[in-house]
Each structure stands twice: as structure tokens, then as C-alpha cells.
Amino acid sequence: MESYSSNNVTIIGLNSSSMNTYDPYDDPMNSFTNSTHPQFHPLATAPHPYPPTALAFSPTRLSESLQASSSSGQMVRTREMLATSSECIRLWDFAQGVAEDDRTSGFVTESRRLGLSQKGTSYQLVPRSQMANSKADYSAPLTSFSWSQLDPSLIVTSSIDTTCTVWDISSNSAITQLIAHDREVYDVCWSSASREIFASVGADGSVRMFDLRSLDHSTILYEAQGGPFQAGRNGVAPTPISPAGPGAAAPLLRLKFNPVDPNYIAVCSAVGTDVQLLDVRAPGVPIVELRAHQATVNGIAWSGDGNVLGTCGDDCQVLIWDLSGVPSLGGGPPPPQPNTRTTTPHTKTIRDPILAYTAPQEVNALTWSEANRDWVAIGLGRRIKCLKV
């Protein structure tokens, strides 16, 4: 039996002032081992029963009732909440300035650590609660989750059992569960402008949008087409993830709503090298396809202003795309909806990213800094690296 005893969740810190003063473009070596680089250091850690499939901080400061912790120390100065997904959703408290009596196995401190604003500042990461299907003896593994930006008491999860579940973390209970796809659901994302609307992608190759006010139906925004699979790093095609059968749609892996204009969603396939940009007002055909990766795309992330998209993949590439010139994103009219009387909307192909970075190995994930939008963090192997855009 496989052991998961070595799995941990670790919070790492970086001195924000060093990020503001350090410019990698002034560093001719730009290597991992250069001692002038700002360094991450662990602030707190805690064991995790199974490998987490996703993790995220709460998008906003929660209300005082939600911020309350199982820890009763009087020395807690600030507290944030963290969520992770695996066989269930787990909530964690990450607290700064923990009283001596409240320190647990998740406590880490070092007065000389880079990133601490005060000597002796302490941090703690402690389990808060977990949410799972109480009506079943077995909970199907969760593949991802999304925290509502507008109502941080709501989390929606996706699962391999074809369902999406909306959770209320204030009561640790499920609000609703629905069969979202015909096969496994791989990712889910709340709309950036509504607490009722979310979208999901899955192994059936479709992008579906749901409204909590009307769950008797969903809107199919896009269905990926089957066909040739991605090329490998050296032009050799690897064995792909297979669709359900001949002619089946290619499975979709990730999706992200544009943070400024929720009419736009970026998606990528589990077996393809392209990234599609969809307009929810004109379902069926992408308005833009980004084509530059040479192997499977693993992650996508919008910048905070919604004009730039970052992508990463198995070709060891991190690509930055400027989409501000796309007429629809620039505030122009949406593309015409296809029907029997009009021509199918034209999909614009963009092949030239504005920036590119080649990593030493495959890049599995990336995210944009909310505090400093000039920085992107990427995950590769057992390492995390920050890139300045």
C-alpha cells in the first residue's frame, strides 16, 4: 500500500522589500544558485493526509466570525484562511504572532529568517475543519476547487465522480451538488462578477456554465474536438491521454474566467498544445487560439488587469500573451453568434507571445502575484521560482 505520510502543506515567505528592489534583468547570471537572489523560507508547515490537488488562500479578509480559530491565544495579530483539496476540502488557519502556549507541530520560527518583518515573529498553520459528503461512506477524490471572490464563504469543488459541489464554509455544509459532466470534472472556476455563476471543464471535452439560481440546466459554451495530439519536446509525439473513443472530444484540463470581464474564459486541453479564449455570449467557437507551446499545456493564469495571460507546459516554456489588442477584450462588440444563416465566427490565431522563459524542466503550474503584478510564480519539479514580467 502506498504511503502518504510524507505529504505536507508548507507556507513560505519572501521579504516583499527585496522583491521590490531586486531586478532580474540586472542580473546577468539569473540562476537558482545566485546568492543575490531573494530566497523563500518556510514559515509554517503541517502534514496533509493525501497529496493535495489544489490549494489557495482565501481571496479576501473574512468576517470576524469566520476568522475565529480553534487557537485561543491572545498574541494572534493577523490570520488568514487556506483551503486544500484531496479526498475532501480542508480548511486551515495561518496565523502570525501566535502565543507561546498555542504553538503546535505546525509552528516554525527563526529570528534571522529572510522575510520576517520583526525579530522572533512566529507563524502557525493548524487544521480548522474539513468538508466531505456526509451521506456517503466513500468520498470521490476532488480534482480542484474555486473560492468565490465576491462571497468568500462559498467554495465550489470538482470531482472525478462527474459532480460539482458548492460548499458554505461558515456552516461546513454543502449547499448543492450537481452532476456537471458526463465524465470526470477536472477544473472549476467562479465567475469574477457573480456569486451565483461558475463554469467547469472535464474529460468529456466540454466547458459548461452553471447558475445557482437555475440549476435545472447548464450552458455548454464549447466542446473540444478530437484529433491529432501534441508534439513532444523534440518533435516526438508522446502517448496522450486518450478520449473515451474514436471521434470523442479531447478532455479539457483547466479554465479561468477573466478577472475584469467575466464574458471571457481561457481554457486548455489535457492533450493539446493550444489555449482557447471563449466569449460566453457567442458559445461554440473560440474567439482566439494561442499557438506556441510544443507540448501539453499544464497551467493558465490571467494578470490582475485582465489584459495578459500566462501559460506553461511540458515543453518547459512559460509564455506571456498580450491580449489587450483583441477587439472584444478591448471593449468592442462581441462576435456574432453562429447559426444556420450566418458564417461561423472567425477564430483569431496568435502565435507570438510577448515574453517567453525556458525552465530547466516541465512547468506544472503558474500564478500571478496579486500584491505585485510584475511577478509570476511557477512550479516545476520540487521547486518554486518567481519570474519578473
H or E element in which residue 16 lies = helix 16-21
Confidence (pLDDT) at 385: 93
Q: pLDDT tens digits for 186-195?
A: 999 999 999 9
Contact of 112 with 69, CB cutoff 8 Å: no
Q: pLDDT tens digits for 72-104?
A: 444 455 678 999 999 999 999 998 875 545 544
The mean pLDDT value for 41-62 works out to 88
Confidence (pLDDT) at 70: 44
Contact of 253 with 268, CB cutoff 8 Å: yes
Confidence (pLDDT) at 76: 53
Q: Classify strands 264-269 and 252-257 as parallel, antiparallel or unpaired.
A: antiparallel
Q: Which of 13-17, 125-129, 288-292 has the lowest mean pLDDT?
A: 13-17
Confidence (pLDDT) at 331: 54
Confidence (pLDDT) at 6: 82
DSSP string, 297-352: EEEEEE-TTSSEEEEEETTSEEEEEE-TTSTTTTT-PPPPPP-TTSPPPPPEEE--
Confidence (pLDDT) at 87: 93
Confidence (pLDDT) at 303: 95
Which pLDDT band holds residue 107 (cuts at 50, 70, 90)? very low
- pLDDT for 1 beyond 50: no
- pLDDT for 32 beyond 50: no
What does the alpha-carbon distance between residue 207 and residue 52 come to, in Å, rounded to a whole number? 24
H or E element in which residue 377 lies = strand 375-380
- pLDDT for 370 beyond 70: yes
Q: Is 101 helix (H, G, I), strand (E, B) or coil?
A: helix
> What is the torsion angle, in degrees rounded to the nearest 10, for the CA atoms of residue 147, residue 151, residue 154 and residue 160?
-40
Domain range summary for the chain, segments of one domain joined by +: 1-129
H or E element in which residue 381 lies = none
Confidence (pLDDT) at 251: 97
What does the alpha-carbon distance between residue 163 and residue 142 come to, in Å, rounded to a whole number? 9
The mean pLDDT value for 324-333 works out to 67
Contact of 237 with 271, CB cutoff 8 Å: no
Contact of 211 with 190, CB cutoff 8 Å: no
H or E element in which residue 370 lies = none
Which pLDDT band holds residue 122 (cuts at 50, 70, 90)? confident
Q: Which of 68, 92, 65 is nearest to 81 (CA)?
A: 92
Contact of 198 with 190, CB cutoff 8 Å: yes
Q: Which of 117-131, 136-150, 178-192 has the lowest mean pLDDT?
A: 117-131
Q: pLDDT tens digits for 337-367?
A: 555 444 456 899 999 999 999 999 999 999 9
Spatial neighbors of 225 by CB under 8 A, at least 6 apart, are 205, 249, 250
Q: Which of 153-162, 312-321, 325-334 has the lowest mean pLDDT?
A: 325-334
- pLDDT for 228 beyond 60: no
